[in-house]
Structures are given as C-alpha cells and as structure tokens.
Amino acid sequence: MSLLGFERDDPQSCLPPLWGKVARSAGRGVLIRALAVLGAVAISSIASASFAADAGRGEQLFVECASCHTLEKGVHNVGPTLAGVLQRKAGSYDDYRYSPAMKRSNITWTPEELDKFIADPQMAVPANRMPYAGMTNAADRADLIAYLQRAAQ
C-alpha cells in the first residue's frame, strides 16, 4: 500500500471507471489539471457564498460605529457623519475638525478603501484621530460596508 492509501501506486486505481478511462486516454497531467480546475471552482463558489455581504447584519455591527458616527446628513458626533460617505473625499466636511493626517490622506471612500480603513484605521491613515482598533473579520467588514452602501446614501 502506498502513502496515499491506494492498493497500487496508481492514483487512478481509486477513480470511478469513467474517470480511469479518461485518465488513461488523456494522460495523467490532463486529469490532474482538470481536477485542479474543478477544485478551484468549487472553492471559489463556497467562498463567494460564505462571504456574501449581509446588510442586515451590518446594521447590527453599525451599533459600534454609532457611538461616534451618525448617518444624518450634516450631524456630526465625536466622529463625522457617515451620510453619503461612499465616493466622498476623506476629510472633506468644512464643519468637522479632522486630523491633519486624514485631511492629507487623499482617500476617496470606496468600498475597498473603507474595508482597508475599518480593518486597521491607524495602518490605513497613520496618526488619524479615530480611537478604534479595527475590525479584523473580513465578513463583518463586508456586512458593515453593505449596510453603509444602503443606509448612508
């Protein structure tokens, strides 16, 4: 018995008869490439389904943000309003006191930029004034951003 647990050192021996015929006629390399492609497709499908953003869950996560931010246009709290945040330039409200770092960051808030910033605000914009350690879970960030896309328009 081999290390892979096959009776023979031929991995084709454990394949259903049809796959064995395909493997013998096409060659082992083709079979391995075909299985790799099928595996990649299956993994990406599973990953896409498990990371589909849930705006309802994002609304629950926003509770943390709401201690400093509002979604009301023109109403700032400890942090600036997040109303209309998407496609807005960071540090752009004249009536809010941003850190110099945020003003010169030259960021336009896209979902990708928000994801980077929410993950680790100090790494994304060193010396910004936001006292938040970051949201490490990518699925949580995706859900929160989906909520902001819906609610912060």
Measured CA to CA, the distance from residue 6 to residue 15 in angstroms comes to 11
Q: Is residue 104 part of a domain?
A: yes
Question: What does the pLDDT look like over 34-83, one tens digit per residue?
Answer: 555 555 444 443 333 345 799 999 999 999 999 999 999 999 999 999 99
Residue 11 scores a pLDDT above 80: no
Residue 18 pLDDT more than 80? no
Inside any domain, residue 4: no
Helix, strand, coil % over all residues of the chain, rounded to 5: 50, 0, 45
pLDDT at 37: 55
Q: Answer whether residue 33 shows pLDDT above 90.
A: no
| Domain identity same for 75 and 143 | yes
Task: Clarify whether residues 107 and 141 are in a common domain.
Answer: yes
Indicate yes or no: pTM above 0.95.
Answer: no
Summarize the confidence of residues 120-130 as an average pLDDT.
96
CA dist 67 and 82 (Å) reads 12
Does residue 1 form part of some domain? no
**37 and 88 part of one domain:** no
